[in-house]
Amino acid sequence: MIQSLRGMNDILSSEYERFEYFLTTASEIAKRYGFHYIETPLLEETALFKRSVGESSDIVGKEMYQFTDKGGNDVCLRPEGTAGVVRAFVQHKLDKKGGIHRFYYHGPMFRYERPQKGRLREFHQFGVESFGVDSVYEDALMIMMVSDTLKALGIGHRLKLNSLGDQNCMPAYREKLVRFIESCEDAICPDCERRKLTNPIRVLDCKNEGCQALYVKAPKLIENLCDGCLSDFDTLKTILDNHAIGYEIDTNLVRGLDYYSKTAFEFVSDDIGSQSAIAGGGRYDRLIEFLDGKSTPAVGFALGIERLLELIVMPEPTRRGYYLGAMDPESIPDILKAAESLRQSEKAVVDYEAKSLKAHLKGADRINARYCAVIGENERKEGTIWIKDLVEKQESTLPLTHLIMKENA
C-alpha cells in the first residue's frame, strides 16, 4: 500500500473543522488589523531562500526540498512564507510606490527535518508581513495580533522577547562574541565551530548542553545595543506593559532565520512537548534591499498551525441546516426538489434511502442538523413536508410549495 511521505499528513474532514476554525478566526483578526490576503507560489527559485533565510541557517543548509526542474532551473519548495511575500512585494514594484502595505497569508511550508511530535516536513503557517512602518509600534502590533489570535482560540502561551540590534551595534557585538567563542573553542560542538564562521550569534541557541553551559558567560546582545535599538526595545516593552501583555526577555533568542534585526519574538506553549514554539517573528528592515528592492522597513510573524490545533478550545457545535429523507421511494423526487431549493441559502443533506421516521431522526442527529424534514405517503398525497426543529423540539407540517417558495424568496 502506498503511504503518504514521512512527516507529511492528510488533513481529514474531521480534523479540518479545527483547521478551518483556526483560519477563520486568524483571518478575521488579521482583517480587523488592516491586513489583506496575499498568495505566493509554493515553488520558488532556490536563490530566493539562500539570499533571505540565509545560507548559514539550518533551513537552507540542511532542510530544503531542492531540485532541478525540467527546464534546468534550481528551485525549491518554500520552507517559510516571508521570502516569497518580499519577492512579490519587490516584483510588483510596491516598494517603489511607498506607503504602508500589510499582508496576511496561509498555506503549506516544507522543511526536511527529522519528523517528531509537532515537527513535520509539510506543515502549515499563518503569517503576516507589514512593509513601510519604521515605528516600533508596528512591532507591538504584531505581538498584539498573535496575542489576540491565541486568546480568541483559548490557547495559553508565553512570549519571549529579544532585540538583535541593527547594523550600528551588531557588527561590534559579533566581534566580541567571536572573541568569546574563540576563548572556549576547544569545548564547543562542531555545529558551533561552523556557526562561528557563518553566523556567530546562532551559537547562542545551540541545543548542546556543554555549549549552553559555556555560553552562560557569553556577552549578551541586550547589553551591547546602540542607543537607537535600546530606546526602541524600551518603548516596545512599555507598549506591551500598557496593554497588559506579559513577556520574558530571552537574551539567547536569536531565531533560526538570518534576516532579522532589532525585535525578535517567539510565542511558546508549555502544553505541547519539546516543539513548543507556536509562533515566531520579528523585524527585518534589510531584507527588501537584499532582494533588490528599495530599502523598506518590515516586520512580521508566522504561527505554526499544526502545533496549535490540539490546543484550540472549540466553540460548542451548533446544529445547522436540514437533513431530508423520504419514507417511501415515491417521495424521493419531492425530497430532492425541496433540498435543491433549500440549498440556495442553507445546508441541506439528503438521505436517498426510504426508511422510517425514527431512522431519519437518527440520521439528522448524526450530522448535527437543526431540522429533520421528511416526506411519506401522506405528505406526498397532500403536497406537504413534515419538519422537526431539533433545537426547539417543535414539529410542523408545511405545504411543500411554501417551503420551496420561502427559500426562493
- Footprint on this chain of ligand HAM (rule: CB under 6 A): 80-82, 111, 113, 119-120, 123, 125, 127, 129, 256-257, 277-282, 300-302, 304, 306-307
Cell of 334: 419531492
375 vs 381: CA distance, rounded Å: 10
Residue closer to ligand HAM (CB basis): 255 or 388 = 255
CA atoms within 13 A on the CB side of 372: 24
DSSP state of 52: I
Task: Choose among 221, 227, 224: nearest CA to 282.
Answer: 221
H or E segment to which residue 37 belongs = strand 36-37
Q: How far is the CB of 63 from ligand HAM (least distance, A)?
A: 8
The pairing of strands 43-45 and 298-304 is unpaired
Task: Choose among 20, 123, 43, 81: nearest CA to 301.
Answer: 81
Length of the chain: 409
Q: How far is the CB of 129 from ligand HAM (least distance, A)?
A: 5
- Cβ neighbours, 10 Å, residue 38: 18
Cα three-residue angle 39-42-48, rounded to 5 degrees: 95
Residue closer to ligand HAM (CB basis): 39 or 328 = 39
Cell of 202: 546562532
Q: How far is the CB of 241 from ligand HAM (least distance, A)?
A: 23
Q: How far is the CB of 253 from ligand HAM (least distance, A)?
A: 11
Q: How far is the CB of 142 from ligand HAM (least distance, A)?
A: 8
Burial bucket for residue 192 (CB in 10 Å: 0-12, 13-18, 19+):
buried
Q: How far is the CB of 228 from ligand HAM (least distance, A)?
A: 21
Residue closer to ligand HAM (CB basis): 262 or 307 = 307
Residue closer to ligand HAM (CB basis): 293 or 376 = 293
Residue closer to ligand HAM (CB basis): 75 or 311 = 311
Q: How far is the CB of 254 from ligand HAM (least distance, A)?
A: 11
3-state helix, strand, coil in the chain (%, to 5): 40, 20, 35
Residue closer to ligand HAM (CB basis): 302 or 369 = 302
CA 388 to chain centre: 40
Q: How far is the CB of 285 from ligand HAM (least distance, A)?
A: 11
Residue closer to ligand HAM (CB basis): 127 or 200 = 127
Burial bucket for residue 184 (CB in 10 Å: 0-12, 13-18, 19+):
middle
**DSSP class per residue in 206-222:** ---HHHHHHHTTSPPGG
| Residue closest to ligand HAM, measured at CB | 304
Q: How far is the CB of 66 from ligand HAM (least distance, A)?
A: 16
Contact at 8 Å (CB) between 261 and 136?
Answer: no
Residue closer to ligand HAM (CB basis): 4 or 242 = 4
Query: What is the C-alpha R_g of the chain?
Result: 28
Residue closer to ligand HAM (CB basis): 160 or 337 = 160
